Chains A and B, each alone.
Chain A
Amino acid sequence: MPNDQDHRVWMLKLIADLSAIYAKDISETANVAATDVIKLSFKADAAAIFYTSGEGRYLYCVAGTQFPIALSPGHWRESVVNHSEGGHIRRFGPWSLPGMDTVLPLWISCPLYTSNANVGFVFLGRSEFDWSDEEIAVLRSIVEVMAPIVQVRYERTLEERSRRETEQRLVRNERKLRAYFEGSRDMIYTANSRDEITGINAAGLSLLGIAQKEAAIGRPIADFVVDRSVRKVIVGKILRNGYASDCEVVFKKADGTPVFGLESVYAIKNSAGKIIEIQGIIKDISERIANESALWKMNLELAETNKALTDTQALMVQREKMASIGQLAAGVAHEINNPLGFLKSNHETLKVYMRKLREAFEEARSVVPDTIGKIEAGLDLGYYLSELDSIFSESDEGYARIMNIVGSLKSFSRADQAAGFEPYDVNAGLESTLVVARNEIKYVADVKLYLQPLPRIMAKSNEINQVFLNIIVNAAQAIGSQGRDEKGQILIATEEKADAVVITIRDDGPGIPKEYVDKVFDPFFTTKEPGKGTGLGLSISYDIIHTKHGGTLSVSSSRGGGALFTIELPKGAPPA
């Protein structure tokens, strides 16, 4: 038996051989070579190293082979679990290595390392000469040297495995992300902190109408939007909040076509909080916006049509009213005109007859002056005869007035029947309108006319009369609303200018508050009590003067405190 010195030399040589093997070969194959050296050194008939690999496989290396052999969990259990004893050396046998035929009677197993559940063992087997304590001591010593080497290799394998898996995962994720990025139907882009594009997908190129990525990379996003200021606002939002979601941005394609995009964007920041990348996704919502826009337009047009219908209806109501007034005026004029004709005729005849009687009376007086004188004195005939003149004179005036009224009514009714432009006498129109409105005016105001001679103009007489009537009746109602003790005044004046005739209608009523002056011609605007006015009269008047006759209609506060309406009607041809 070798002595201690020999043991030490043997052990050191064995350690040196094993170190050389592991230094030369960093792969797992080194374990196979190690078993060869151990088998030889211990003069064993069989040697093996059992271990779990970093990849979780059960392996064992057998002296005399070339590569580690994989074991099933069953083989591992049968070999290692049944023939080892934690951290102790165990003797056992007879037994044969897994997959080997030779059964050896004398085995020892020595734990190589324990790292949680991962274990390794060195197995040595002999056909004869049981294992001595010295051999076991040497085995322990070399196992102590081998253990950290094998363990480090195990852990390195584990790390490599983990790294490989991570890399594979990263590659898979990269592929997935790339497929998502390129396959997305929405534009996905990345940009640097200056908002310049650093990456863009195919959908992005399509959205921007660009063929090559090179045409987009490096350019600011703002180059591709219709309104650069909006991009600035969004970038400001990103800087403040780190993101901006659901922003609607109008992009422009390379050919200038606008594209409506719904953008969500967020910033990647470094540990110092500085933006290192901006990542955004933009959905093309042009179709949705076009549909919404069409709907809005349709609704707005519908609202305008409704308004036009309402205005037309109001106009028709007003015209109907005017037509009724005209028909009434015509009827009244006709009914009065007939009896007036024979009354006037009888009156003239009566005047002739009275003249004849007076002549006869004078002749009788010259023949029998005393008798006639007596009769005249007795019956006070001198007084009656002198009164007859004033009676006839007053009756003449009365007839003239009635005939004037009838004439005005006829004029008004004729105007109502006229449809198109015709020569029109503004002064006559005002006078006939005043006759129609007289009943509305007479108890609240006196009308003063300052009418200058005017040329006839081309106008729709019924409509101009309607305007006069609206303004004059409004003036009378405004004065009447004050409940004054004394009558107010309505002053109507006309004058001729170079290319227009001007009509002013001024009243001394309450006037129009300054804030309403701009609104009196708006449809439905009224300051009257509910039910007293539709708010359409002046609106229609404005339309008649401005749109249909090419004139102007304005209102201002009168110096006397009331309202002053000024109408200018062109003297030339009517508007086309």
Chain B
Amino acid sequence: MTYDEASRDFNERFDETRLEIEGTPDGARVRIAGWLGLEEAGRLQALMDTIMDSVEPGGTISLDLGEVRYISSTGVGLLSHALIKARGKGLRFVLSRVSDTAEKVLRLLGLLSFFPTEE
């Protein structure tokens, strides 16, 4: 399944969430917007695993949370899982943008400092 097909499939399943995946020379850029609840996060985690498996060590996975309006604990779990998996594979995992809502939750949980960010 290509990135475009995976995004389309995801967006058809969840009408309050928007996913875009874009390949980059050394990895992938993932943009998630809207509602990141239990089901959405579960599906996205599976996709992130697939994406990370396809990127060579040394590559970068960038996740854009700038337009996330709601994030559940499953969503936070997804971020932790992705970061740990990326480190294990020698990948760079960065949050390219973080919405106020997502930042508040990550800060409240004491996890924000673990995630490399780049504006």
Contact = CB atoms under 8 A, between A and B. Distances in A.
A292 interface: yes
B104 A250 contact: yes
Interface in B56-112: 57-58, 60, 69-70, 72-73, 76-77, 80, 83-84, 87-88, 90, 92, 100-101, 104-105, 108-111
Interface residues of A, number: 36
B70 A524 contact: no
A535 B58 contact: yes
Nearest to B83: A300
Given A229-B100, A519-B60, A524-B57, A300 B109 contact: no
B58 A522 contact: yes
A526 B58 contact: yes
Nearest to B70: A233
Contact of B100 (A227, A258, A293, A297): A227
A522 B100 contact: no
Interface in A292-329: 292-293, 296-297, 299-300, 302-304, 306-307
A339 B51 CA distance: 62
B84 A289 contact: no
Interface in A251-298: 258, 260, 285, 289, 292-293, 296-297
Contact of B77 (A285, A292, A524, A525): A292
Contacts of B104: 226-227, 250
Contacts of B90: 523-524
Contact of A300 (B37, B72, B73, B80): B80
B35 A293 contact: no
Nearest to A523: B90
A285 B70 CA distance: 17
A230 B71 CA distance: 9
B28 to A, nearest CB: 13
A516 B69 contact: no
Contact of A246 (B38, B77, B109): B38
Given A229-B101, A250-B104, A299-B80, A293 B111 contact: yes
Interface string A535-572: 10000000000000000000000000000000000000
A516 B60 CA distance: 11
A515 interface: yes
A300 B111 contact: yes
B110 A297 contact: yes
B40 to A, nearest CB: 12
B109 A237 contact: no
B111 A296 contact: yes
A250 B80 CA distance: 19
A230 B101 contact: yes
Contacts of A293: 76, 109-111
A574 B72 CA distance: 47
A237 B37 CA distance: 13
Interface in A487-528: 513, 515-516, 519, 522-526
A195 interface: no
Nearest to B35: A233
Contacts of B57: 524, 535
B105 A250 contact: yes
A227 B16 contact: no
A237 B16 contact: yes
A292 B80 CA distance: 11
B108 A226 contact: yes
Interface in A2-49: none
Given A250-B104, A303-B84, A303-B87, A519 B114 contact: no
A182 interface: no
A233 B16 CA distance: 11
Contacts of B80: 296, 299-300
Given A226-B104, A293-B110, A303 B70 contact: no
B62 to A, nearest CB: 12
Q: What 8 A-B pairs have minimum CB-CB distances, sorted nearest first?
A: A525-B58, A296-B80, A524-B90, A293-B109, A300-B114, A303-B84, A515-B25, A303-B87
Interface of A: 226-227, 229-230, 233-234, 237, 246-248, 250, 258, 260, 285, 289, 292-293, 296-297, 299-300, 302-304, 306-307, 513, 515-516, 519, 522-526, 535
25 contacts: A226-B108, A227-B104, A230-B69, A233-B35, A233-B69, A233-B70, A246-B38, A247-B72, A250-B104, A293-B76, A293-B110, A293-B111, A296-B109, A296-B111, A297-B114, A299-B80, A300-B111, A302-B84, A303-B88, A306-B87, A515-B25, A522-B58, A524-B57, A524-B58, A524-B90
Interface of B: 16, 24-26, 35, 37-38, 57-58, 60, 69-70, 72-73, 76-77, 80, 83-84, 87-88, 90, 92, 100-101, 104-105, 108-111, 114
